[in-house]
Amino acid sequence: MKVLTINSGKSYFKVGSRDVEPQDVSREDLLKILNDIYEAEEEISIPDTESLSDIRNPVEKEIVQQIIQKISDFSDNIDNIRDEVKGNFPEITKF
């Protein structure tokens, strides 16, 4: 699963089936991205610093770097988060 595409110096976050420019990403969009990462069974593709250097606009690059850092931190801790959620909310069994 790709969370970001960079094309011709412009970046776009993948929010469901939409491509959203960084300055237009809403709180709901970020929640959708994080939820998709949480539920994804496939590997998450997070761009590295070298890939981000292709973004031409310095303000856009800073926005993307900040968001990607948070997404990366979330993705790195996803197993711990899943275990914590399962521990706090065990599955309900039917009788």
pLDDT digits (tens, 9 = 90+) for 1-29: 899 999 999 999 999 999 999 999 999 99
pTM of the full structure: 0.82
Q: What pLDDT shows up at residue 84? A: 87
Span 76-81, mean pLDDT? 90
Check whether 91 has a pLDDT greater than 80.
no
Q: Side by side, which strands form the sheet with 4-7? A: 4-7, 10-15, 18-20
H/E stretch holding 62: helix 58-76
Q: What pLDDT shows up at residue 58? A: 95
